[in-house]
Amino acid sequence: MSIVVTGATGELGRLVIDQLLTTTPADGIAAVVRDKEKAAGLAARGVELRIADYDRPETLTGAFRAGDRALLISGSEVGSRVRQHTAVIDAAKAAGVAQLAYTGVLGGPDADFLLAAEHKVTEQLILDSGLPYTFLRNGWYTENYTANLAPVLAHGAVAANAGDGRVASATRADYAAAAAAVLTGEGHLGKAYELSGDVAWSLTEYAAEVAKASGKEIAHNDMPAAAHQEILVGAGVPADFAAILVDVDEAIRRGLLAGTSGDLARLIGRPTTPLAETVAAAVAAQ
């Protein structure tokens, strides 16, 4: 039996494996990856590589073994994820995995924004498969904001259409620690965890944190959805994805990413990483 992480060379996948290696021998961990060379660092640490591609179902046959505990990290290609996830679920069921954990979205079936649609379908596919499951309904990553600091610092503004809505974000490392906890612990089968940061914050508060860390004046520039869409497209974001981002802001405006269930902190056994800490580190790295 191995603990298997799909999408293991992605930003979240690498962090999950880092966390697993703190408690689990490397020879008990398998990484499902498309590119062997990209995963050379994992192999060097003793992690087993299983080469497979979400887009080539036939390659997934060897991705899982009977009794494995597996983490399906959702694909990054919006619009292709249901097809890709179906292939992984089918392969996991055929192999007889003992647990399939899935990184979905905060709110699960109640999340009604565009980005949630494929996650909801995937959860239902897992339920229909009869596989022992754990749903990790991840909230927003703080890095979704801090990775985009350059234009914020250049223009002195956080542009959004989320109004005074609040975001209970956490870091990728926090979510990775939760995934590792459910893959290595007991009592998580058949559970759905609503994962989010301990404190929900507004974009006005985020702008203030960036200002504090950078010493620059940073405003929260709230605007209509159409204007935000225009700015994103003008910055090179594909129109379809820009529409999804604008729709997420509308979800934030309606409070759908503000939930603070405490599930994440309970799973990782510590408070979630504060916004100010992540912002300060990101500004220092600019």
> What is the DSSP secondary-structure string of 81-117?
HHHHHHHHHHHHHHHT-SEEEEEEETTGGG--SGGGH
Helix, strand, coil share (%) of the chain residues, nearest 5: 45, 20, 35
**What dihedral angle (degrees, nearest 10) is formed by the CA atoms of 103, 9, 44, 67?**
30
Tens of pLDDT along the chain (286 residues)?
Answer: 899 999 999 999 999 999 999 999 999 999 999 989 999 999 999 999 999 998 899 999 999 999 999 999 998 778 788 999 999 999 999 999 999 999 999 999 999 998 999 999 999 999 999 999 999 999 999 999 999 899 999 999 999 999 999 999 999 999 999 999 999 999 999 999 999 999 999 999 999 999 999 999 999 999 999 999 999 999 899 999 999 999 999 999 999 999 999 999 999 999 999 999 999 999 999 8
CB 169 within 8 A of CB 145: yes
